[in-house]
A and B are shown apart, each in its own frame.
Chain A
Amino acid sequence: MTRAVVMVIALAALAAGCEREDRPLRSEAALNENREAIALASNAPGPGGPIEYKSGTRAQYEKIAFHVSQGKKLFTWYNCSGCHANGGGGSGPALMDDVWIYGSAIENIAASIREGRPNGMPTFRGKIPEDQIWQIAAYVRALGGFVASDVASSRHDQLYAHEGESRLPSPPDTAGGQPGLAQPK
């Protein structure tokens, strides 16, 4: 009897491990573009930090590893690395330090991507679908170290001294290789 109870509990514990996170199978509706108004700076005189705006409606984006890894892929595809390198910064500011000119909340980062910022950051409104903007913002949060370590994606291949093993050129043909692979010259 006790053994059966222990078995059931163990199985339940195992089954619970299957549900690490809920990956959304359908992206958000295309017209669900964010229209949240975000004040960029306070009207008060004198120096002041950026206004952190936390609506929390997209907080799930930085809690799901799938979103963060998609963001990492899109960061390369959309050439964010052209200015920000792999987070280290270039002609654009670094993203892996703790200086956040326009705020470090995911809402602020998404707004920076969507609306652009002065001195070089272009606007991607209409060019990048809304859910992808949030994915990239979640990845930028991961670069800044704000995201839980089981969600954050692994280090970028480009940051290693040489390319990943799967990207290195093929080794030369050897005697035991595929027959006749060498081209007739």
Chain B
Amino acid sequence: MRFSLKSPAAVLILCLLGGCSGAQSALDPGGPQAQHLARLFWIFTGVCTVVWVAVMLVLLASLVRRTPARPDPLRLDARSERRSLAVVGGAVFATLLTIIALTALSYLSQRQLFARERPAVTIKVTGQQWWWDVRYESDAPDRTVTTANEIYIPVGRPVTVKLAATDLIHSFWVPSLFGKQDLIPGQDNEIQFTASRPGVYRGQCAEFCGWQHAHMGLVVVALPANEFQNWLTAQAAPAAEPEDAERKRGAEIFAAKACIMCHTVRGTSAGSRVGPDLTHFGSRKTIASATLPMSRGNIAAWIVDPQGIKPGVNMPNVSIASNELDPLVSYLAGLR
């Protein structure tokens, strides 16, 4: 059979290989914790492969080998009895040794995963249907920043993420940085991880949480420490005043329409905490919880028909006149 890229096997293999790299892959670790997990994965895969091959070989041998019929099945041959006892004993011992070794390895990795250092930054992530509320905690109130669906972290520094939920159980999973950890109402979970190289990592909810569970993504951006501080300072600032007539009109529409019932834009009269904080919305990479890339067209599409893009989402279809959409989009895109 000629090997063709169109064959189902080739498609399957390519799909599997696609999981080995990229912004959302446990096999492409971006930090020490993910490194532990990836190493554990490969050791387990290797050991399991060896065990499987050995079992298959023995099975094959027992099928192929011809045992001559014994003249008297009831007569015991002491030497062959001892030999089979040794073989079975050896196999049981090897199995026990393997299980103990893997358990010890798993335990050691677990200990390293949950070892704690003093964090460079503490972030509280609250899961909601179907987005992530992100709050940078600080002793200074003016350094407490609220944003949504995007987590910026400094490279090479330990980051503590506190996980909470208000409605139901979600799970925080950025495969390139850490394993899954649940967000449970009434239970505070906490993880700590480090990103060792700058870049954009993607994560998503890993616990089924309703209709749009698949569209509950998030983005983690690792920046060099000084750039991270600049970002945090910019985020802590209130929204800039709209500078031109169109954006001023957009701000008026935002305040007069349903937007203001759920969203916060710090520095304006909009202060509701039901939906994501939009103070620096225009600087984000995605909208609707990493569902759509950030662009003017996507903002407009999302405002006009959120229920068509993410059916069941809490943002309702609101009535916006055709001549109101452009100023509103300009206002939101300009919230940088």
Contacts and interface: CB of A to CB of B under 8 A. Distances in A.
B258 A178 contact: no
Interface string B206-241: 000000000000000000000000000000000000
A166 B186 contact: yes
Contacts of B185: 166-167
Chain A at the B interface: SS class: loop
Contact of B116 (A77, A167, A184): A184
Contacts of B83: none
Interface in B105-124: 110-111, 114-118
Contacts of A182: 116
A115 interface: no
Nearest to B305: A30
Given A26-B307, A26-B311, A181-B114, A126 B317 contact: no
B187 to A, nearest CB: 6
Given A77-B262, A168-B186, A184 B256 contact: no
Contact of A31 (B114, B187, B319): B319
Contacts of A4: none
Interface stretch (A40-48, A50-58, A104-112, A127-135): A127-135
A72 B319 CA distance: 22
Contacts of A168: 186
20 contacts: A25-B312, A27-B307, A30-B317, A30-B318, A31-B319, A33-B319, A77-B262, A77-B272, A127-B256, A127-B257, A127-B260, A128-B258, A129-B319, A130-B319, A165-B186, A178-B114, A179-B110, A180-B116, A183-B116, A184-B117
Interface of B: 110-111, 114-118, 185-190, 256-258, 260-262, 272, 274, 307, 311-312, 316-320
